[in-house]
Structure 1
Amino acid sequence: MSRTTIESVIVEPLNIPLLEPFTIATGSVSAASNVLITIKLQDGSIGYGECAPFPPSTGESQETALAAAHACAALVQGRDASHWRVLSHLLHSIYYAQATVIAGMEMAILDALTRSYGMPLYVFFGAASSAVETDMSIPMVTPERGYELAKETVERGITTIKIKVGGDVRDDVARVEAIRSGAPGLGLTLDANQGYTPNEALLCLEALDDRDIRPLMLEQPVHKDDYEGLRYVTQHTTVPVAADESAASAAAVARLLAMGAVNVVNIKLMKTGIVEALDIAALCHTTHTPLMIGAMIESRLASSAAAHFAAGLGGFRYIDLDTPMLLTEDPFTGGYEQRGGIYDLSTVKRGLGIERK
């Protein structure tokens, strides 16, 4: 038995209320209803992982994630964490429909392993950099509330705002205008979360152009399976178009890029797991496709893992890891030090650097 053998796996619910309901085109949430995984290795090293199911995006709920996580725990217990790719393949082969559970398991395994090795996770991934700078998301709110949230974002020292759209185009344009008024110097990205038809997406961009507003990027304008619709939007605008829900696997991303359907890819660890995310990043690096890192409704734990992933690999132009700032409480400490929108990982000594309060 090796010092990196997995001795125990604990699975428990992780519930954290949001400061206010967060509404996007596919639904509204008022709390993070997640799952916490704690892995202990033979040498005493502890690793933490978080599963953040969001039913409209992943088809998983907290209940299904808890059930699958308990089953996965039985599979990995007694195995060597240093064989993390083998373990990932095993989990994928059986629980392929439970992506957030696989992500949480991989996260806990790699956190424990890199703690055992005495190195930060971002260094394990390549140490391309030791910090990332996140945007701040504004959900589908009234223009008045959008204006207030934009002013608060400026006060936080954050330099980019991601605006949720994908509803009525006139309402969306009014929200974007109000946010621009509240934060005139900040970069704006749009996220439609599959809410538009191709023509509605282009109408929205055209209406904003008439108001002298040019977004830095438009994310997932149409339904995740509408690859042709994505290509149509991409071919008819000069605004970069990103795949999010459509980019659920390396195979899907390869197809999207071959079609010229998008020119940015959003990696979410909760969508693919870490090993598959490494394959997607490699594919995008070789095709010079700009990368984005995003998140579900995640605590500091999963957001730290995504920050370590993006900083370690490099090549991420868009960073959207703001959800810890939307929660009423933070059950964890460490992972990164925050200044404005910058998550600085350089003080992390081992693993994710996360501890439970």
Structure 2
Amino acid sequence: MSEIVAVDAEPLDLPLSEPFEIALGTRREASNVLVTVETADGTRGHGEGSPLPPVTGETRTAALETVRAATELLEGEPVEEYRRLTALVRDAFPGMVSATFALETAVLDTYCREREIPLSALFGGPPTTVETDLTVPILPPAEAGERAATAVERGYNRLKLKLGTDVSTDVERVAAVLDAVPNVGLKIDANQGWTPKETVRFADRLADENVRLELIEQPVPASDVTGLADVTRRVDVPIAADEAVFAPQDAVRIVHENAADIINVKPSKSGLLGAADIVSIARGADLELMIGCMLESAVGIHASAHLVAGSGAFRYVDLDGNRLLASDVVPTDDGPGHEIGGPGHGVTPDR
């Protein structure tokens, strides 16, 4: 194996096909970071980060600066020591999760490409088709129903509905979606938009209507783990922790406090190796697992899909970031199936 000789970072602007509103704001494009790592034998690997200040705490400018500052830590180092290098970068730049995810992915991708193996092999299995849900953003109820019907026509049989505003209006959104597509599997993501009492009221309203949901994701602020645990005890619908879990240590707290039924693992926050550690923690505690994403292109999405395929650990898959883009960095299908391959994560972006 050879040494890393170059690390390059550049901005990656990805317009969305439609405005995307969640409880934390509205996005019209993804302002991402693309990282390329090159080794002495000419092998190149790619990684991507999607900084979003309300979630990751980073701007893109800060993420780019972090990657460039990390270059001196990586150049001259053997790529096969990817675990040590990942730890080195994360220790040097705590909290810069998008930048370090992009760097880690690029290093792992390079390592696997040199060995001519798929990234999924690092997590225990071969690359297989990974099916995702599709997210419906916050819209007026009638429009949410129309968007859901269009998604089902595109082949999606599982949807995630963004909520987290007024509870009564959110209940109307759910009703409109299920009127339009009554047999769809439906997840709810409030993006920290409710209080514990509002979450219970929302769940009770749906229970009165005999509405069955797959899960409710991060209904309360990430800092309110006690409130999340209270909701988990009082609500029959499975509760997923998302923004409350960035690192394996956060997953341990969720387990210790019985704060959720499901952990939503986002490699864009924890990194791929950290995500694998969270998988082990959740499995040991008999919690279900979900995988999520930011607004990433096929680079980030396929890297995460390799974790899904290799580990076989995830019951719920929400890897639809590139399905929301006006165009991807490589040609990709429009439906729910991510056809992944190697070597590495298999995506060489057309720049």
The TM-score bracket by the shorter chain reads: over 0.9
After TM superposition, give the deviation of residue 332 of structure 1 in Å.
2.4
Q: Deviations over 1:107-150 (max 9, x none)?
A: 00011110100111112221176232100001111112111111
Greater than 3 Å deviation, 4+ residue runs = 337-340
State the alpha-carbon separation in 2 of the partners of residues 144 and 14 from structure 1.
34
Kindly tell me the number of residue pairs found equivalent between the two proteins.
350
SS at match of 1:127: coil
- What is the identity, as a one-letter code, of the residue corresponding to 1:343? H
Structure 2 contact 188–217 (Cα < 8 Å) conserved: yes
Q: Deviations over 1:182-209 (max 9, x none)?
A: 2111100000111110010111111112
Match of 1:95 in 2: 93
After TM superposition, give the deviation of residue 4 of structure 1 in Å.
2.5
Match of 1:349 in 2: 342
State the alpha-carbon separation in 1 of the partners of residues 277 and 285 from structure 2.
13
After TM superposition, give the deviation of residue 98 of structure 1 in Å.
0.2
Structure 2 contact 119–342 (Cα < 8 Å) conserved: no
Correspondent of 2:228 among 227, 230, 245: 230
Correspondent of 1:56 among 33, 54, 57: 54
Identical positions, percent = 38
Correspondent of 2:64 among 60, 63, 66: 66
Q: Does 1:181 align with 2:176?
A: no
**TM-score scaled by length of structure 1:** 0.95
Structure 2 contact 6–75 (Cα < 8 Å) conserved: yes
How do 1:1-357 and structure 2 match up within 5 A?
A: 3-127=1-125, 130-333=128-331, 338=333, 340-345=335-340, 348-357=341-350
State the alpha-carbon separation in 2 of the partners of residues 101 and 332 from structure 1.
22
SS at match of 2:21: strand
State the alpha-carbon separation in 2 of the partners of residues 237 and 170 from structure 1.
17
- What is the identity, as a one-letter code, of the residue corresponding to 2:295? I
Structure 1 contact 4–113 (Cα < 8 Å) conserved: no
- What is the identity, as a one-letter code, of the residue corresponding to 1:48? H
After TM superposition, give the deviation of residue 340 of structure 1 in Å.
3.2
State the alpha-carbon separation in 1 of the partners of residues 184 and 2 from structure 2.
46
After TM superposition, give the deviation of residue 344 of structure 1 in Å.
2.8
Structure 1 contact 196–222 (Cα < 8 Å) conserved: yes
- What is the identity, as a one-letter code, of the residue corresponding to 1:309? L
Q: Deviations over 1:12-35 (max 9, x none)?
A: 000011112111111211101000
State the alpha-carbon separation in 1 of the partners of residues 82 and 254 from structure 2.
28
Q: Deviations over 1:216-243 (max 9, x none)?
A: 1000010101111011100011111000
State the alpha-carbon separation in 1 of the partners of residues 221 and 102 from structure 2.
26
- What is the identity, as a one-letter code, of the residue corresponding to 2:271? G
Q: Deviations over 1:230-288 (max 9, x none)?
A: 11100011111000000111111111111111010011011111222121111112222
State the alpha-carbon separation in 2 of the partners of residues 260 and 338 from structure 1.
39
Q: Structure 2: state its 5+ residue gaps.
A: none
- What is the identity, as a one-letter code, of the residue corresponding to 1:168? D
SS at match of 1:355: coil
Q: Structure 1: state its 5+ residue gaps.
A: none
SS at match of 2:264: strand
State the alpha-carbon separation in 2 of the partners of residues 339 and 34 from structure 1.
21
In terms of mean alpha carbon deviation, does 125-134 or 71-80 score higher?
A: 125-134
State the alpha-carbon separation in 2 of the partners of residues 219 and 210 from structure 1.
20
- What is the identity, as a one-letter code, of the residue corresponding to 1:340? G
State the alpha-carbon separation in 2 of the partners of residues 276 and 237 from structure 1.
29
State the alpha-carbon separation in 1 of the partners of residues 148 and 318 from structure 2.
16
SS at match of 1:40: strand
Change (3 A) 1:262 1:128: farther
After TM superposition, give the deviation of residue 339 of structure 1 in Å.
7.4
State the alpha-carbon separation in 1 of the partners of residues 257 and 127 from structure 2.
31
State the alpha-carbon separation in 2 of the partners of residues 176 and 142 from structure 1.
11
State the alpha-carbon separation in 2 of the partners of residues 339 and 18 from structure 1.
14
Q: Give me the CA root mean square deviation.
A: 1.3
State the alpha-carbon separation in 2 of the partners of residues 216 and 129 from structure 1.
26
State the alpha-carbon separation in 2 of the partners of residues 325 and 341 from structure 1.
9
- What is the identity, as a one-letter code, of the residue corresponding to 1:67? E
